[in-house]
Amino acid sequence: MSMMVQEMTKLFNSAWQDNTLNRLLYYKDSPLSTDLPDVQELDNYFEPTSDEQPSIFKTIFKRAAKTTDLNDDKPICRVCMYFGISSPLPSHLSEKVLERDLHFDIYTHIETFEENEFRSLKIIDRLSDIYLGKNVAGYGKTRFVRCQPISNPPNGYTGYKLILKIGGQKW
């Protein structure tokens, strides 16, 4: 397995294995209530309930910037996660390490999730808690680059792009 695949696998696992992030993405009301079961324990977390309804996991987490299935009929929250630009460090620092941008696109249905609270901002805060200042994959601690609105989110949704910088190994 390549280094990039190993790093992304570790990073992706940190997101979907986080109970709080899953709750924020899945539950419409009171996501942090202890009365609700952990999302990963639900029967349809990994297994779809039917051919027409994908699993919770495949609905709320994507390994690429996918929005074509987001619409007003099925309001959800989603995190898309993927690598952006990779750049070498100056050669006097290291010839084996590079910096890599880690992108998170966060989409939340406005009328369902944003109406009563700033759900998208809570999701961004949670992702920051999971990754920022930690060595979660590759080399060094994860740093903040920027967070900005996504200019053309799907109809009925708001979107934010969170970009973090991680250290990685050159090929």
Among 72, 163, 77, 70, residue whose Cα is nearest residue 119:
77
pLDDT at 2 over 80: no
pLDDT at 78 over 70: yes
pTM: 0.91
Question: In this predicted model, which residue has the larger pLDDT, 109 or 72?
Answer: 109
* CA trace torsion 120, 122, 128, 130 (10° rounding): -110
pLDDT at 18 over 70: yes
pLDDT on residue 116? 86
- Alpha carbon distance 31, 20 (integer Å): 8
| Domains in the chain, CATH or no CATH each | 3-169 (3.30.2000)
Among 65, 32, 38, 70, residue whose Cα is nearest residue 54:
70
Question: In this predicted model, which residue has the larger pLDDT, 86 or 129?
Answer: 129
pLDDT at 148 over 90: yes
What percent of the chain stands above pLDDT 90? 73
What is the mean predicted confidence (pLDDT) over 83-112? 84
Q: Is the dihedral of CA 44, 46, 51, 53 positive or negative?
A: positive
- Alpha carbon distance 22, 18 (integer Å): 6
What is the mean predicted confidence (pLDDT) over 109-129? 96
Per-residue pLDDT band at 126 (split at 50, 70, 90): very high
pLDDT at 93 over 70: no
pLDDT on residue 105? 98
Burial of 87 (C-beta count, 10 Å sphere; 0-12/13-18/19+): exposed
**What tokens were used for 23?**
């709750």
Q: Residue 82's CB: how many other CB atoms inside 10 A?
A: 17
pLDDT on residue 44? 94
DSSP character string of 10-24:
HHHHHHHT-HHHHHH
